[in-house]
Amino acid sequence: METGDLRGDHTGGASRAVECRAPADGRRRAYGRLVHHRKGTALTTAVEAAERSLLWSHEALGLHALADSAGSVRLGAPGQDWNSLLPLVEVTATGHGRIWSGERFTDTAIGDRLTYRGHETLQDGDWQCTTIRLADPATGLAADITLRTCPGAGFLRSQVRLVNEGSTPLRLESVSSLALGGIVDAMGSVDGLTLHWADNDWLAECRWRHAVFRDHVVPLNRSAHGHEGRGCFERCSQGSWSTGRHLPIAALTDRRGRAWLWQIESSAGWRYETGEREGAAYLALFGPDDAHHQWRETLAPGQEFTTVPAVLVGAETGGLDAVFGELTAYRRRMRRSHQDHTALPVIYNDYMNTLMGDPTTDKLLPLIEAAGAAGAEVFVIDAGWYDDDAQGWWDAVGAWEASGSRFPGGIQKVLDAIREHGMTPGLWLEPEVVGVRSPLARTLPSEAFFRRGGVRVTEHGRHHLDLRHPAARAHLDQVVDRLVGDWGVGYLKFDYNINIGPGTENGPESAGAGLLGHHRAHLDWLGSLLDRHPGLVLENCASGGLRMDYAQLAVVQLQSTSDQQDPLRYPPIAAAAATAVTPEQAAVWAYPQPHFSPDGIAFTLTGAMLGRIHLSGFLDRMSPEQFELVRSGISVYKALRSEIPDSLPFWPLGLPSWEDTWIASGLRGQSATWLTLWRRESAADERGGGPRPRDQHGTGDSVRTVTIPHLRGVRLRPTLLHPATADATAAWDAARGQLTVSLPRPNTAVLLCLSAEPPAQSREA
């Protein structure tokens, strides 16, 4: 291939379509080389560099897609060793594995053979889309990778479409959505890089951890043996809880504030890996694969497959705060538009620490009255409203009819009461499951359920619907249309409380392919509900936050952040929630109770105020003074909530650790900055031991100083927004950009506004 074959729109910045093609035979002129073989002389390297052509670049991310004279295309930072970069697409298929065997899913034989065929750039509204077309001459597999961004934005979204243009079937076992190399610190090495990743679990979501890159990717003295290592740092999902183990998000940073952050958008299996390659770090992002998710996709001649999306964001300065701000802006841009994203109504839900799945008319009516008086705008009847079974509802769900014994005279009496108190009625639903004792388990066809080895899958007393089957979808359409259209429900909390395993085998398909197929049908179904009922609000819940991914969150409006019932355990989850979800989509429980002290009531309310308040608790049993604390807190939230959808998150004490005594998270808005600070007492060991230290930032004293770089040099007055009765104090040092806050008692929290002038209806701290 001559360099001239690649001329055209090299920046990807044109609004017109630009198309370039390789020679007609589409073949590479060199085969069999090892991608990790370093050429011998500087002259050779210079000649090779001169023969490479620029296909695409992203200035904000500092990325180039380059093609060499043999047609190989690689993506990475400019100026890096060619061999430190990865082939643009990595593919393993049965009979076509890797050319350097190990734990990595890079160095694949097909990826090494893929040859440039052409590229084009199109403008799609604000989006700029460059598609680079590749082909493997050995198998006839065509790979089109589409790189989407917006002018000036610091993000890149990538997907790969594979088409079998050969004459024989090809069984895929892994496909990268995005692969790149050449990541180094400011000194040009990997030694100054730090890894950041998030563990996730029931009741313990969004637990960010970090380690020096070299702690996981050790130097091996490559020059001694001529090869890279075989291992890598990897994280992956397991089964149908996409975030049951980890978040599909991670980052690399260096000491000077440069940062690279990535996200995989899949509810049906994902994996990322990073490691060292020729003295630089590489990154490879995948959807499901065979080794981890039992995913295999056989492409007959003419058939195609498209990967799940993956996203990379980057920043030259500002570290994690900067890249999470960029990721937040990207998430807002790519999701489905909905009025809830700006309205942010206060939601009362009867479940958490309150009715706990045992609603009745008599129990709900006083809660409805109290919630309306406190300022709630949505009232959700959570689990149990359908329960008329003497043996319990867990393994009998599926029909979603209201219980006659729980609601004498019908549930409409309760729904009407919600509306009469000025609130939108909502209901809890777990649509993807059918209990083993439900009549639906017998009346729906067997093909409408997940099966493996010809046997219907059962997990924790439930079967799982396959929404690719028309009977399963028709059943759920009928349920939702009845609840929304006939009953007037305007809010549905969709829960998901089982991990069904690797998926379903429909005929010859693999279990992982079945899960991905169901997942995509599920997303389509969710979109169809909103098409038919545009005002309907959907909440995504999976035992709290166990399916907290942006495949779901691109469609639904809210995300449950946790099922955590201990208010003192919630702060690290609430503070870190904005790493996983935009603040206006992050539902955080606030469950004040009559037995709480004024500090306790303020503590649980304050933690939800920079996201979405999910109010609960026995408000009807509170004293007038307690109730006024709740009502005033809701009023504060309503006064600031219009700022949340345009604000970006930051963490002046860093991302919280699970046992931290002091925790801080904030939102940086157009008119002001808002900051929540929690002070928790040292925790006693739950196994019966004494107190254990849990503050990486200090000793847990009553005074804490936080640095807020973006406000350095700004003259402002810190204003206490909530709680109004707190005896906290705050002082601002403009020259240093430091805020010093005093919280005299442990287990207290405050919300502060940092602006040039104090907002109305607040007092100076």
The predicted pLDDT at position 223 comes to 79
Structure tokens at 416: 């009407």
- The residue that leads in pLDDT, 562 or 693, is 562
Q: Is 612's pLDDT higher than 70?
A: yes
- The rounded distance, in Å, linking the Cα atoms of 490 and 487 is 9
Number of separate domains in the chain = 3
Same domain, 296 and 441: no
- 228-239 pLDDT, tens digit per residue, is 889 999 999 999
Same domain, 359 and 401: yes
The predicted pLDDT at position 756 comes to 84
Provide mean pLDDT across the span 689-701.
49
Neighbours of 735 (CB within 10 A): 7
The predicted pLDDT at position 13 comes to 37
Where are the alpha helices (H) located in 41-142, listed in sequence order? Answer: 42-50, 109-113
Mean pLDDT score across all residues of the chain: 91
Neighbours of 547 (CB within 10 A): 26
In a domain, 584, yes or no: no
In a domain, 596, yes or no: no
The predicted pLDDT at position 698 comes to 45
- How far lies 650's CA from each of 261, 327, 366, 662, 682, in Å? 15, 12, 39, 15, 25
Residues 6+ apart with CB under 8 A from 42: none
- The rounded distance, in Å, linking the Cα atoms of 522 and 432 is 9
- The HSE-up count of residue 389 (CA atoms within 13 Å, CB side) is 19
In a domain, 477, yes or no: yes
Provide mean pLDDT across the span 69-86.
94
- The rounded distance, in Å, linking the Cα atoms of 729 and 531 is 49
Provide mean pLDDT across the span 285-293.
98
Query: Where does residue 38 rank: exposed (0-12), middle (13-18), buried (19+ CB within 10 A)?
Result: middle
Q: Is 684's pLDDT higher than 90?
A: no
- The rounded distance, in Å, linking the Cα atoms of 232 and 282 is 10
In a domain, 114, yes or no: yes
- Tell me if 252 sits within 8 A of 502, measured CB to CB: no
Structure tokens at 390: 């003497």
Q: Residues for the chain: how many in total?
A: 765
Same domain, 209 and 351: no
The predicted pLDDT at position 761 comes to 53
Q: List residues bridging with 195 in a β-sheet.
A: 211, 252
In a domain, 571, yes or no: no
- The residue that leads in pLDDT, 388 or 144, is 144
The predicted pLDDT at position 9 comes to 36
Structure tokens at 315: 């920043």
Same domain, 298 and 210: yes
The predicted pLDDT at position 725 comes to 73
In a domain, 242, yes or no: yes
Structure tokens at 753: 């506004």
- Tell me if 557 sits within 8 A of 338, measured CB to CB: yes
Range(s) of the domain holding residue 508? 341-560
- Tell me if 581 sits within 8 A of 263, measured CB to CB: no
| Last residue of one domain, picked from the residues 517, 544, 560 | 560
Host H or E run for residue 135: strand 127-135
pLDDT category at 45 given cuts 50, 70, 90 is low
Q: Per DSSP, which regions of 168-294 are E strands?
A: 170-183, 194-199, 207-212, 233-236, 246-253, 259-264, 271-277, 280-286
Q: Is 136's pLDDT higher than 70?
A: yes
- The rounded distance, in Å, linking the Cα atoms of 712 and 710 is 6
- The rounded distance, in Å, linking the Cα atoms of 736 and 705 is 11
- Tell me if 494 sits within 8 A of 429, measured CB to CB: yes
Q: What is the CATH number of the domain that holds 473?
A: 3.20.20.70
- Tell me if 575 sits within 8 A of 656, measured CB to CB: yes
pLDDT category at 162 given cuts 50, 70, 90 is very high
Name the amino acid, one letter, at 575: A
- The rounded distance, in Å, linking the Cα atoms of 93 and 109 is 9
Q: What is the CATH number of the domain that holds 55?
A: 2.70.98.60
- Tell me if 204 sits within 8 A of 565, measured CB to CB: no
Same domain, 709 and 756: yes
Q: Is 132's pLDDT higher than 60?
A: yes
pLDDT category at 533 given cuts 50, 70, 90 is very high
| Beta-sheet pairing, 73-76 with 86-87 | antiparallel
pLDDT category at 28 given cuts 50, 70, 90 is very low
- How far lies 759's CA from each of 672, 711, 717, 721, 753, in Å? 9, 17, 10, 9, 8
Structure tokens at 388: 């008329």
Same domain, 362 and 292: no
Same domain, 309 and 430: no
- 714-729 pLDDT, tens digit per residue, is 999 999 999 987 799 9
Structure tokens at 184: 């180094």
- Tell me if 102 sits within 8 A of 145, measured CB to CB: no
Pick the range with the lowest mean pLDDT from 68-72, 223-227, 498-502, 627-631. Answer: 223-227
The predicted pLDDT at position 683 comes to 55
Residues 6+ apart with CB under 8 A from 624: none
**Would you call 308 helix, strand, or coil by DSSP?**
coil
| Last residue of one domain, picked from the residues 560, 582, 608 | 560
Nearest to 592 by CA among 580, 584, 600: 600
The predicted pLDDT at position 757 comes to 60
Neighbours of 40 (CB within 10 A): 8
Residues 6+ apart with CB under 8 A from 188: none
- Tell me if 456 sits within 8 A of 447, measured CB to CB: no
Same domain, 375 and 265: no
- The residue that leads in pLDDT, 507 or 11, is 507
Percent of the chain whose pLDDT exceeds 90: 87
Q: Is 171's pLDDT higher than 60?
A: yes
Nearest to 354 by CA among 140, 615, 624, 602: 615
Same domain, 350 and 241: no
pLDDT category at 693 given cuts 50, 70, 90 is very low
- Tell me if 176 sits within 8 A of 285, measured CB to CB: yes
**Would you call 653 helix, strand, or coil by DSSP?**
coil
Q: Is 541's pLDDT higher than 70?
A: yes
Nearest to 174 by CA among 303, 287, 282: 287
The predicted pLDDT at position 216 comes to 97
Residues 6+ apart with CB under 8 A from 482: none
Residues 6+ apart with CB under 8 A from 713: 734, 735, 737
- The rounded distance, in Å, linking the Cα atoms of 101 and 116 is 25
Provide mean pLDDT across the span 221-244.
92
In a domain, 434, yes or no: yes
Q: List residues bridging with 493 in a β-sheet.
A: 428, 539
In a domain, 199, yes or no: yes
Same domain, 117 and 137: yes
Same domain, 356 and 229: no
The predicted pLDDT at position 49 comes to 62
| Last residue of one domain, picked from the residues 334, 350, 380 | 334
The predicted pLDDT at position 726 comes to 74
Orientation angle between helical segments 319-334 and 571-580, nearest 10 degrees: 60
Pick the range with the lowest mean pLDDT from 3-17, 79-93, 270-284, 616-630. Answer: 3-17
Report the chain's C-alpha Rg in angstroms: 27
Q: What's the pTM?
A: 0.93
The predicted pLDDT at position 46 comes to 52
Same domain, 298 and 437: no
- 423-479 pLDDT, tens digit per residue, is 999 999 999 999 999 999 999 999 999 999 999 999 999 999 999 999 999 999 999
Residues 6+ apart with CB under 8 A from 282: 84, 85, 86, 106, 179, 180, 181, 182, 183, 274, 275, 276
- The rounded distance, in Å, linking the Cα atoms of 131 and 144 is 6
